[in-house]
Amino acid sequence: MKIGILTGGGDCPGLNAVIRGVVKTAVLQYKMDVLGIHDGFYGLVNNKIKELTIGEVSGIMPRGGTILGTSNICNPFRYFSLVNGQKVYSDVSDQVMKNIKANGIEAVIVVGGDGTMAIADKFNKMGVPMVGIPKTIDNDLYATDVTFGFDTAIVTATEAIDKIHTTAESHHRAMIVEVMGRNAGWIALHSGIAGGAHIILIPEIPFDYDAIVKKIYERKGAGKHFSIIVVAEGAKAKGGDVVVKKIVDDGTEPIRLGGIGNRVGDEIERMTGIETRVTTLGHIQRGGSPSPFDRILGTRFGAEAVNLIANKDFGKMVSLKTPDIVAVPLDEAVGKQRKVEPDSGYIKAARLIGISFGDR
Ligand code: F6P
Kindly report, residue by residue over 198-237, the tens digit of the pLDDT.
999 999 999 999 999 999 999 999 999 999 999 999 999 9
Q: Whose CA is nearest to atom 10 of ligand 1?
A: 10
β-strand partners of 5: 36, 109
**Could you tell me if 91 and 77 are in contact, meaning their C-beta atoms sit under 8 angstroms apart?**
yes
CA-187 nearest atom, ligand 1: 6
The SS3 of residue 299 is helix
Q: Whose CA is nearest to atom 8 of ligand 1?
A: 182
Under 8 Å CB-to-CB from 71, ≥6 apart: which residues?
8, 39, 40, 41, 42
CA-248 nearest atom, ligand 1: 15
Angle at CA 65, nearest 5°, toward 27 and 75? 85
37-82 pLDDT tens trace: 999 999 999 999 999 999 999 999 999 999 999 998 889 999 988 8
Active-site entry in 11, 121, 138, 294:
138
Out of 249, 256, 257, mutate this one to test ligand 1's pocket (max ligand atoms within 8 Å of CB): namely 256
Tell me the pTM: 0.96
Strands 174-179 and 227-232: parallel
Closest CA to 193 of 233, 158, 217: 158
The SS3 of residue 281 is coil
Instruction: Determine whether 138 is an active site residue.
Output: yes
Closest CA to 304 of 293, 318, 315: 318
Q: What is the mean pLDDT of residues 240-266?
A: 91
Q: Is the pLDDT of residue 251 over 80?
A: no
d(CA 272, CA 254): 36
Check residues 87 and 49 and name the one with the higher pLDDT: 49
CA-180 nearest atom, ligand 1: 6
All domains in the chain, ordered by first residue = 2-148+288-332 (3.40.50.450), 153-286+341-352 (3.40.50.460)
Dihedral angle at the C-alpha atoms of 103, 109, 111, 113, nearest 10 degrees?
110
